[in-house]
Chain A
Amino acid sequence: MTATLDTTAEAENKPAAGEIPSFDVTLKIQRFSPEVGPDPWWDEFTITVHGTDRVLDALHKIKWEDDGTLSFRRSCAHGVCGSDAMRINGRNRLACKTLLKDVNPDKPIIVEPIKGLPVLKDLIVDMEPFFASYREIMPFFINKGNEPSKEHLQSSEERERFDDTTKCILCAACTSSCPVFWTDGQYFGPAAIVNAHRFIFDSRDDGATQRLEILNDKEGVWRCRTTFNCTEACPRGIEVTKAIQEVKRAMITRAF
């Protein structure tokens, strides 16, 4: 109990939520609306924020108090729904998981839509091409044997084999950070491969051969240039490049 009391006291010495002084920050946001004109433009907003505020809080403050036309997607606001992937200071991140104090707020923070997908309005891009690639890799469980009356058995080790890629929230941060995807929109992209990986390495699944066939396509895994942008971009900490490499290896060895 004494140890707990000490840690409690220690925690209290740290600044708590709301205690961190507020500061001013400037966001430079790329805007676009086909109803306004054919070209994008930049707007700058300077607002006062708190130390615990995220980029999403800043975008909301701008939308709610200054410019209601600013458009972006968001829902859960804590990094699990995948709605608000955007380019923040040149890096793909979720706005709701990026604290302003962590992105060098002394300079204007640059906010742009993710790249490689058509921009529809402000920070909103067309997600259909992204989901189309996802759907192509057969992102669903395929089990050809007789269905057991209870659960399929799977060891903890077998379950662990694909744990990392089950975390994917389909935010497109990885795919839209990939230089191959930027130049070749036909490339399946990291997210689709991650989701193929999730099933290929699931001991219960019988569709690996079909999925590997799909990904052996000229727009499949071999387009990956191992730049690691995707791994760096993933807000869920998935080792995306490693997963792609594992799929490549499985394609050669047919071992999964």
Chain B
Amino acid sequence: MQTHQYDVVIVGAGGAGMRAALEASGEVRTAVITKLYPTRSHTGAAQGGMCAALANVEEDNWEWHTFDTVKGGDYLVDQDAAEIMAKEAIDAIIDLEHMGLPFNRTPEGRIDQRRFGGHTRNHGEAAVRRSCYAADRTGHMILQTLYQNCVKQDVEFFNEFYVLDLITDHDLSTEDMADGAEVNATGVVAYDLATGEIHVFQAKAIIFATGGAGKIFKTTSNAHTLTGDGMALALRRGFPLEDMEFFQFHPTGLAGLGILLSEAARGEGGILRNSDGERFMERYAPTIKDLAPRDIVARSMANEVREGRGCGPNKDYVLLDLTHLEPSHIDAKLPDITEFARTYLGIEPYTDPIPVYPTAHYAMGGIPTNVEGEVLRDSHNVVKGLFAAGEVACVSVHGSNRLGTNSLLDINVFGKRAGRSAAAYSKTASFHDLPADAADRTIAQLDEMRDRPEGERVAEVRKALQETMDANAQVFRTKESLDQALADIRELQARYKNVSVQDKGQMFNTDLLEALELGFLLDLAEITVVAAINRKESRGGHYREDFPDRDDTNYMLHTMTYRRPATAGDTVDGTVENYFDHVEEFGDYKIVLGSKSVTQTRYEPMERKY
């Protein structure tokens, strides 16, 4: 076992982690721990762009961007945070350009901008050109540019190190902390994939930037490695997760595969059609049609299929039609995604429309933070020395549905803020002693999993989880479907206790890691479904057929999900004003649902029409 000491430790090297690293590493001794190589992170798969009201090509301003973000999130967005994001977007784009990012250009040599779903002029009048982009590989260019600047700044990386525990001075999973009581994050425990060795990192400040958890679903645009590690670790250590019922299904995944085809395809003029050749979005969103926000488009597509207007032999997808666009325009603006259609489906997008269907894409929820990136341990108490940014976090700037491009924006704005906050905090703080047994829980967990007698296969349990989530907790949900999903997950949790690994070695034991990742996925799927059962309304990405309307009277609140020992009380924070009245008992633990109020500044909730 090795031990390390850093002022700031960042877990995850995608966009948020590396943006934070660029802030922190210049100020204090900083380490970045990543389970991949930094350039493998899934930020690199983002395609369409990053919105900022630069007004380079037409009139625009950050207030319109704020409004679109709030409305796009179906008013569950914390409006102060959305305002910060939209305002700081402009500097964030300029920062990236100054770091060398090769944006596409206007004829005048400025950063070019294009249309994107839900981004409008003057509070919904028409689509606006707000997305700054680099062909259809904007995320790739952001990831590369941030990594290049980390190389320039000599940021210290621990590649292929897998963080398996978060150390705090109070165990929130068992202790009830009084309001205002101090809780400190003091370190993390990591597993070196190459050697199997355990490393303990002591830190004054820790930033979680571990990304999303798309692998709880079968059809997803997410990487195999997006298993929600940071979220699940926080949950297990007694921290709440916020708004986990809100998962975004991106409308245009390649049918049957889930590989993402950017909304930029529609921003550049692409049209969705059903089996009648009809541009069906005209019926669902008469003003901005195919450029409605993702939740609306995904639901409309699923509805077309359900009502028998799907395409293909099984009538189970719709078509993304680019055939009216000039091939040269497609090549210039959408080269990668058209290549995906050719490679994986054998479809030539110049001449044939592309089969598409919604694919699980983005977790709106996550570890609750304030706008400085500080993690909350309940509705309002901050944990000292713990920060989170990016998809793992919930600020909440996305509310119940994220607008396209706002994730690349989120990682840049709040990655920077978290890095800056963590560095500033570490300058004033001192190291806390780590307990002598800091790594014991992790070592025991690894040994136990490695030494299990032959049991069930990890892949079988994972497949069953992903299938029930796709069948029962996707675009359309009902109490019955969610109850079914929860029953299935409970059974799979039991089966998980008997899974075993074949690889008993120390080096590059990816078999063992997949087993641990499955544990994270099960815990997160469970939380997602419990929160979805509890929210008896439809809002943004969460659509309940049995409660099809938004219910602001009862549900204009963030959900806070806690995992507590079965013996603990049913309350988690005596000062919270309003609880969802719900506790799920699961044998040795229970899930308690609390709430957190939504910050509203200038926008009154209105009916959401496009």
Contacts and interface: CB of A to CB of B under 8 A. Distances in A.
Interface stretch (B182-190, B346-354, B434-442): B346-354
B109 A68 contact: no
A14 interface: yes
A204 B225 CA distance: 36
A67 B511 CA distance: 9
Given A4-B273, A4-B323, A16 B312 contact: yes
B140 interface: yes
A74 B224 contact: yes
Contacts of B487: none
Interface stretch (A149-157, A209-217, A219-227): A149-157
A52 B345 contact: yes
Contacts of A54: 344
Interface residues of A, number: 74
A69 B502 contact: yes
B59 to A, nearest CB: 17
Interface stretch (A39-47, A140-148, A240-248): A140-148
A76 B223 contact: yes
B511 A69 contact: yes
B110 interface: yes
Interface stretch (A21-29, A159-167, A177-185): A159-167
A255 interface: no
B105 A156 contact: yes
Given A8-B273, A74-B224, A127 B37 contact: yes
A67 B502 contact: yes
A120 B507 contact: yes
Interface stretch (B64-72, B197-205, B253-261): B253-261
Contacts of B459: 60, 63-65
A68 B511 contact: yes
Interface stretch (B94-102, B399-407, B525-533, B568-576): B94-102
Given A155-B109, A159-B104, A10 B352 contact: yes
B223 A75 contact: yes
Interface in A103-124: 120-122, 124
Contacts of A35: 505-507
Contacts of A167: 137, 140
Interface in A76-103: 76-83, 97, 99
B303 interface: no
A5 interface: yes
Contacts of A159: 102-105
Interface residues of B, number: 79
B275 A8 contact: yes
B471 interface: no
Contacts of B319: 8, 11
B277 A79 contact: no
Contact of A4 (B42, B103, B223, B353): B353
Interface string A183-200: 000000000000000010
Main secondary structure on chain B at its contact with chain A?
A: loop
A252 interface: no
Contacts of B314: 16
Interface in B15-72: 36-37, 39-42, 44-45
Nearest to A151: B97
A7 B351 contact: yes
Nearest to B98: A147
Interface in B337-363: 340, 343-347, 351-353, 355
B105 A154 contact: yes
A155 B42 contact: no
A57 B396 CA distance: 36
B36 A143 contact: no
A218 interface: no
B503 interface: yes
B107 interface: yes
A68 B501 contact: yes
A205 interface: yes
A80 B503 CA distance: 28
A12 B311 contact: yes
A88 to B, nearest CB: 15
Contact of A152 (B97, B108, B312, B336): B97
A123 B160 CA distance: 15
Contacts of A140: 100, 148-149, 151-152
A150 B96 CA distance: 11
A30 interface: no
A22 B256 CA distance: 15
A153 B140 CA distance: 22
Contact of A78 (B108, B255, B340, B501): B340
Contacts of A58: none
Interface string B257-292: 101100000000000010111000000000000000
Given A65-B459, A167-B137, A202-B102, A75 B40 contact: yes
A143 B42 contact: no
A99 B134 CA distance: 28
A139 B147 CA distance: 9
Given A8-B353, A19-B313, A81-B42, A99 B505 contact: no
Interface string B553-589: 0000000000000000000000000000000000000
B94 A7 contact: no
B296 interface: no
B603 interface: no
A204 B109 CA distance: 12
Contacts of A11: 311, 319, 347, 352-353, 355
Contacts of B225: 75
Interface string B162-174: 0000000000000
Contact of A68 (B102, B107, B137, B502): B502
A207 B260 CA distance: 36
A99 B111 CA distance: 37
Contact of A8 (B106, B137, B311): B311
A63 B502 CA distance: 10
A129 interface: no
A99 B502 CA distance: 28
B141 interface: yes
B194 interface: yes
B297 interface: no
Nearest to A76: B223
Nearest to B354: A11
Contacts of B505: 33, 35, 69
A17 B345 contact: yes
Nearest to A102: B343
Contacts of B140: 80, 167, 169
B102 A162 contact: yes
A11 B135 CA distance: 27
Interface in B119-170: 134-135, 137, 140-141, 144-145, 148-149, 151-152
Nearest to B276: A5
A64 B464 CA distance: 14
Contacts of A97: 343
Given A4-B277, A159-B105, A71 B510 contact: yes
The 5 closest A-B pairs by CB, nearest first: A141-B100, A68-B502, A64-B459, A17-B256, A153-B109
Interface of B: 36-37, 39-42, 44-45, 93-94, 97-100, 102-111, 134-135, 137, 140-141, 144-145, 148-149, 151-152, 194, 223-225, 255-257, 259-260, 273, 275-277, 311-314, 319, 321, 323, 336, 340, 343-347, 351-353, 355, 457-459, 501-503, 505-511
Interface of A: 1, 3-5, 7-8, 10-12, 14, 16-19, 33-35, 52, 54, 60, 63-65, 67-69, 71-83, 97, 99, 120-122, 124, 127, 131, 135, 138-141, 143, 147, 149-156, 159, 162-163, 166-170, 199, 202, 204-205
Given A16-B255, A80-B336, A155-B109, 14 more contacts: A4-B273, A4-B321, A5-B277, A8-B275, A11-B311, A12-B313, A16-B355, A63-B511, A71-B509, A76-B45, A81-B41, A139-B151, A156-B107, A166-B141
